[in-house]
């Protein structure tokens, strides 16, 4: 049974191949045009991509610039407490803070002189 099936399959394949080889020129030409149309689709898509590549590159560059620069422009203000801590922790500024009352007295005195 299996041998007969294999023989039938071989015979069918041989006949089929013969009919394929006997295709007329018009059909072969039609097939060739269809294949070229299909491949043209591939080229067209690729060239479309190439055409848009400069614009896409510029867009990406702008987006990167925005991402890099935006944090600096929109940096949240340092809370006052944090600023005070920086002043307090800086050794150079401690002397100035100790003389703070003196500087205030000078300001008041100058204002009184101006009035007087």
Q: Name the site residues for another protein (rule: CB under 8 A).
A: 4-5, 7-9, 11-13, 15-16, 18-20, 22-24, 27-28, 30-31, 33-35, 37-39, 41-43, 45-47, 50, 53-54
- Choice between 47 and 104, CB closer to another protein: 47
For tokens 């307090």, name the residue.
Answer: 88
Closest approach, Cβ 5 to another protein, in A, equals 5
Closest approach, Cβ 65 to another protein, in A, equals 22
Closest approach, Cβ 23 to another protein, in A, equals 6
- Choice between 17 and 110, CB closer to another protein: 17
Q: Long-range contacts for 60-65 (Cβ within 8 Å, ≥24 apart)? A: none
- Choice between 39 and 83, CB closer to another protein: 39
Give per-residue burial for 25-60: e unless 16+ CB within 10 Å, then b. Answer: eeeeeeeeeeeeeeeeeeeeeeeeeeeeeeeeeeee
CB 87 within 8 A of CB 97: yes
């Amino acid at each position: 049974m299996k041998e007969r099936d294999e023989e039938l399959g071989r015979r069918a394949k041989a006949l089929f191949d013969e009919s394929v080889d006997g295709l007329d020129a018009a059909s072969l030409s039609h097939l060739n045009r269809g294949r070229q149309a299909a491949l043209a689709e591939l080229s067209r898509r690729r060239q479309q991509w190439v055409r848009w590549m400069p614009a896409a590159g510029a867009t990406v560059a702008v987006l990167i610039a925005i991402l890099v620069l935006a944090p600096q422009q929109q940096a949240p203000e340092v809370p006052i407490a944090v600023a005070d801590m920086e002043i307090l922790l800086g050794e150079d500024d401690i002397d100035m803070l100790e003389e703070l009352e003196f500087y205030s007295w000078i300001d008041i005195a100058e204002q009184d002189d101006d009035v007087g």
